Amino acid sequence: MNNSWVGTLAKGRQELWTLCRSRGLWGTGSSRGGRVASGDELFIWYAGQGWLAHCRCLYSAHYPEEEAEAPWRDLGYQWVFRIELLKEHIPPLEIKAPGGVQEETGIHTIQLGQFPQLKPVQANALRRFFE
């Protein structure tokens, strides 16, 4: 079974998502990022807004050898991997909507830089919200 992860986008950093989406690339500085494998899922949480995107990881994570592999290296990302955007919500799905994703997943907040792995029940709930 594939794993599901949460990548976070800092409030006011929409340009980073634009860059990631256009290049089909995501990066993280978390040591957990090294466990990303081809076929895993990535859900993007936009701080202060809500759930922004649902992606599939196309390749296993690796350390970026060239600057082109991690155009945001100044931010300290040590793992990068290719992504395919499956669904995007503009504006993001609010986490606290009544009967919404917060109740279904038990997720109340996502801390920047933590790159948490989701439990299967949480990933299933998020998939439903992105359908």
Q: How many domains does the chain have?
A: 1
Q: Please name the residues in contact with 70: beta carbons below 8 A apart, sequence gap of 6 or more.
A: 25, 27, 64, 77, 80
User: Which domain CATH number covers 76?
Assistant: 3.10.590.10
Structure tokens at 102: 């917060």
Task: Please tell me the predicted confidence (pLDDT) of residue 93.
Answer: 65
Higher-confidence residue: 68 or 29?
29
Residue range of the domain that includes 11: 4-130
From CA 74, how far away is CA 96, in angstroms rounded? 33
At residue 28, what are phi and psi to the nearest 5 degrees?
A: -150, 150
Q: What is the per-residue pLDDT across 37-72, written as a single tens digit (0 to 9) for each? A: 999 999 999 888 888 999 999 999 998 877 667 776
Q: Please name the residues in contact with 93: beta carbons below 8 A apart, sequence gap of 6 or more.
A: 50, 51, 100, 101, 129, 130
